[in-house]
Chain A
Amino acid sequence: MAALAIAGKDLRTEWRTRESLNASVSFALVILVLFSFAFDLDREERLAISGGLLWLVYAFAGALIVNRSFARELPNDCLEVLISSVRGWALFLGKTMACFVLLLIVELISLPIFGLFYNIHWIGSIFSLLLVMALSTWGITVVGAALSAVTVNVHLRELMLPVLLYPLMIPLLIGAMEMTTGLLNGNAVLSDVRLLIVYDVMFTSIAMYLIEFILVI
């Protein structure tokens, strides 16, 4: 319940200010446009890199969202108040759930725009895509929120988070990219779902155990 309350608080705050959401959606759009200039591709080539391109955009947008997760509690010592009010794991889980919802919204907005810009049909495999997006997004946000807590008091936080986050996300991104490319090419490949589940379960457990050490020093 405490986790849901924290998630609700974060989502309400975000809905009122729309700081992360606006920035992430705009950023995703800019990246999609930049990629179209960077690569002059025909349809076959576009399909071949579609999953990779899409998940790079999501990973960049994800880093923006998780970066704010714990940092938004710094003014007025709100983080101290939260730590003394709820258990560390509940706080972490709530923050992760809020980031998950926000990143999923960004992904669901970017996907049709991506299909439109790059002339790629995605509606046919939407349910499989949603499964891949949900599992991968949870992985990104769980590791991202944990590292957001690690770097919250670090000098140069905005620089440090991506340096730590992207190498850790690589196995997850490999699975997500491969499956998304397969699905957008019309192949029902969900072979890597197990990889995503292993990643999600492992990092959720480790992060929930370690978060007490991170928050209560």
Chain B
Amino acid sequence: MRDKTVYTLGILGTLLLLYNFFQIFLVIPIDALQGNIFRIIFIHVPAAFTAFCFYGVAVVGSIAFLMTKNFKWDSMAVSAVEVGTMFTLVNLATGSIWGRVEWGIWWAWDARMTSQLMCFLLYLGYLIMRPAIAEPQQRGVMSAVLAIFAAADIPIVFMAIRLHNVRTQHPGPVLETGTLAPVYLPPFFGDWVAFMLLASAMMLVRLHQESSSREIDSLRRELHAI
């Protein structure tokens, strides 16, 4: 059942992504100011949206684990953080490529870029800490606490950086201001849906791996006890 869900989500996501790429690279018109490089926005922004959705899932999983001590929530949290971190990296990398073409530099200490990098570092710490704790219950609790700390920190990071970083040169939010032309909206949201489908498939694979590794771990412990 789980395998079928993974394959369905994966295939749907890939097909939608291929259709969107066809639209993005061959159908929609070129941007008058930026040229072809503007097409990267269809990967860059949906990747950030996807990452934040999965960080949200990680917080829910972490709180649920602290309340119930059921390991399926811990697995959900770690899987979501891994997928979210990967999409944050996609967002950072595509932003950097865009910056190289538009600004002539790979990295600027711009408000949005810095905030995003901080999120990446926070969750990287989470992923680095997990293997350092051997006892599963302890690992779950500490990871959950850290995920909640990270989630609480993110809004303050964004607030602090926006308060101080006067060097903001990042383009403004295109969705809220309505500056994204209507012709661009279907591939934009289409990519977000495709990323969400693919990320969900990846998360399910990781959930499966987590439950298998827990099973192996408990068998190993039983063997040691004998």
Closest A residue to B138 by beta carbon equals A217
Question: Which of A153, A155, A198, A214 meets B156, CB within 8 Å?
Answer: A198
Q: Which residue of A lies closest to B139 (CB)?
A: A154
Is the CB–CB distance between B156 and A202 below 8 Å?
yes
User: Are B128 and A168 touching (Cβ within 8 A)?
Assistant: no
A74 nearest CB across to chain B (Å) = 14
Q: In the complex the two chains form, what is the Cα distance from A164 to B149 in whole Å? A: 10
B149 is contacted by which of A163, A168, A171, A195 (Cβ under 8 Å)? Answer: A168
In whole Å, how far is B73's beta carbon from the nearest beta carbon of chain A?
13
Check A171/B157 contact, CB under 8 A, given A155-B134, A206-B148, A210-B145. yes
Stretch touching chain A among B34-42, B43-51, B159-167? B159-167
Q: Whole-angstrom distance between the alpha carbons of A192 and B163 in the complex?
A: 9
| Contact between chains at A195 and B160 (CB < 8 Å) | yes
Neighbour of A146 across the interface among B66, B137, B149, CB < 8 A: B149
CB distance from B52 to the nearest CB of A (A): 17
Interface residue range, chain B? 20 to 34
Give how many A residues have a beta carbon under 8 Å from the other chain's beta carbons. 31
The answer to whether B156 touches A195, judged by C-beta atoms less than 8 angstroms apart, is: yes
Interface of A is mostly: helix
Interface status of B201 (Cβ within 8 A of chain A)? no
Given the interface pairs A150-B145, A168-B150, A213-B141, the reply to whether A160 lies near B156 with Cβ below 8 Å is no
Taken together as a complex, chains A and B put the C-alpha atoms of A210 and B66 apart, in Å, by 9
CB-contacts of B173-198 with A (<8 A)? none
> Across the two chains, which residue of chain A brings its CB closest to B121?
A167
By a CB distance below 8 angstroms, the chain A residues around B145 are: 146, 150, 210, 213-214
| A160 adjacent to B129 (CB under 8 Å) | yes
Which residue in B66, B125, B148 is a CB contact (below 8 Å) of A167? B125
A162 (CB) vs chain B CBs: closest residue = B125
CB distance from A109 to the nearest CB of B (A): 28
Choose among B128, B148, B152, B160 the residue that contacts A175 (Cβ–Cβ < 8 A).
B160
**A151 within 8 Å of B (CB atoms):** yes
Q: Mark B105-144, 1 if CB is under 8 A from A, else 0.
A: 0000000000000100110010011001110011001101
Contact call B157/A170, Cβ cutoff below 8 A: yes
- List A contacts of B153 (CB < 8 A): 167-168, 170-171
Whether B141 contacts A214 by the Cβ 8 Å rule is yes
Nearest chain B residue, comparing its CB with the CB of A216? B141
Cβ contacts under 8 Å, A150 to chain B: 129, 142, 145-146
- 17 A-B interface contacts by CB (under 8 A): A147-B149, A153-B138, A155-B133, A156-B132, A163-B125, A164-B125, A167-B118, A167-B153, A168-B149, A168-B153, A171-B157, A171-B159, A195-B159, A203-B152, A206-B148, A213-B145, A214-B142
